[in-house]
Each structure stands twice: as C-alpha cells, then as structure tokens.
Chain A
Amino acid sequence: MTALSLLAAATIGTPIGQGLIYGLAAIGPGIGIGFLVGKSVEAMARQPESAGQVRTTMFLGIAFVEALALLGFVLTFLVK
C-alpha cells in the first residue's frame, strides 16, 4: 500500500498517472468479468437448455461489472 501511495504521489498530474488510473480501475473488473463469463460458460455447458437465460443474466452481470472499469476510464479524462 505504501508503494502504491508513493506511486500515486510521484505520478499525480502526469500522463502516466492518468494511465495508471485506468490501469488500476481495470484490475477488479477484469477479474470479475473473467469469473463471470467462466462460470456462465460452465453453466451453459452443464445445462445447454438454460443457455438463453444464463446468457441474459451474464450480459447483465457484465454490464454492472464493466461500469466500474468505465468509471475509471472516464476519470482519466476528468483528473488533470
């Protein structure tokens, strides 16, 4: 955590800092979408007859998880 705050202090206001915002914001959603889609594929493979419902729910989940990454993306333009 200290390393992270040092990094933040060193890169604040620079293009590298702006890039870091998105990079850090993408870690969590990346893991989340990976889990989400993996589990959905597993469910579809086990029960192909419920694939339609699983797909709809999967896209919903992706939309919610992705929103976090996108907020980070928007922040890169807001933070100067």
Chain B
Amino acid sequence: MIRFDNVTKVYPKTSRAALSDLSVEVEKGEFVFLVGESGSGKSTFLRLVLREERPTSGYIQVAGKDLSRLSSWKVPHLRRQIGTVFQDFRLLPTKTVAENVAFALQVIGKSRAEIRHDVPEVLELVGLDGKEGRLPHQLSGGEQQRVAIARAFVNKPLILLADEPTGNLDPSTSVGIMKLLDRINRTGTTVLMATHDQSIVDQMRKRVVELAGGELVRDQSRGVYGYAR
C-alpha cells in the first residue's frame, strides 16, 4: 500500500537530510506506528505519502500509484483515498460537528443525499451520535479528535494517516482514540500513526518503525516504543 525505496528528502537551504535513504513497505490492512524524536523525520514521511512534498531522490508508491509520475491534477484524487488526522484536530470553528464532517464530502462534490446518509453513519461509528449540532469549542479534546477521525474516515479511504493524534489528549482519552483507530484498522483500512506516546505504543503491540535523524533504525512487528532488551 505504501512503499518507500531509498527515499531521501532534503529541504531547500538545509544541510541535513530530513529523510536519508529510507526504505520501508507497509502492506494493506497493516497498523504501523512511526516513532522517533522530534525532528526524526516522521512528519516528513507523512507529507511525502500525501504528496505535499516531493522526495529529493528515491521511489515512492502509494495505493499502487508511482508518486513521481503523478501529475499535479491527479493529486487530489490520490488524497481522497487517504484520510488524515492531526494533533491540533484542524476543525472549522464556525461549523457544527455534522457540518465539519459534511465539509469533507461537499468539497469533493458528493450529493446531498450521500452526505445525509454517510455523515450520521460515521458519527455513530466514532461514538458522537447525539452531538451533531455541537460546535467544536463545545466539545472536549477527545470529542474533537473523534470528529476529525470521522471526517478522515467518512469517505472510506484506503489509508488513514495520523500525525500525533493523541498529542493534545490525556492518557485515558488517548486510549479511547486508539481503540477507535484499531476498530477502523479492522475494517481493512491501513493505518500509519506517527507518535511519541510511549504507553500507547507499548500497549498495542503493533508494528513499530523507528526513525532517528532521518534514518530507519528499527522495524519491528509487535514492537514496543523503546528497545526491548
């Protein structure tokens, strides 16, 4: 589903590479933690998957498409197959929960009938039915993140990317979010989650890919956050 072959990314006007000769492959349906300190290249990795950045060298394949050959006007189509969740939720403050989720469908041209059907369904999945009319500032952090997850998942994407989704949440709320992501993963969605939340990684025992200084230092299935000795 996601394949990096010897990918290097150097941002302009910097000397150190953000990613250095990285090769990793994520199969369909996997749940992968991407761990590492700040600056290790986790966010860069996700941005390359989304085609927000282009690699300085190397080959990237996402959902069967060669990203270097992808023309600019086809990129939106790629992104419709990838859902994204961020640490800061990125909700629209003037729209209700339902409107925020519907927004993702409206801007890609879905009909009102489809929206009327899909939005309640996904809100129920994330456990927010009953709160459709609330505004983001009327929700707790965990609820806001659920809205973001609902928005990311409403279009049934192939891949769900999460960039530190529990970064702004307390430990018990984080567990709830992880359970949700796990449920989504079990529907067949490939999940790639960047995090430096140790306890979460340790609890879930999924595949762990560790980056340090832009290089791959560990790729362990059923791994833990630190090296298990």
Q: Are A and B a genuine interacting pair, yes or no?
A: no
* Residue ranges of A at the interface with B (Cβ–Cβ < 8 Å): none
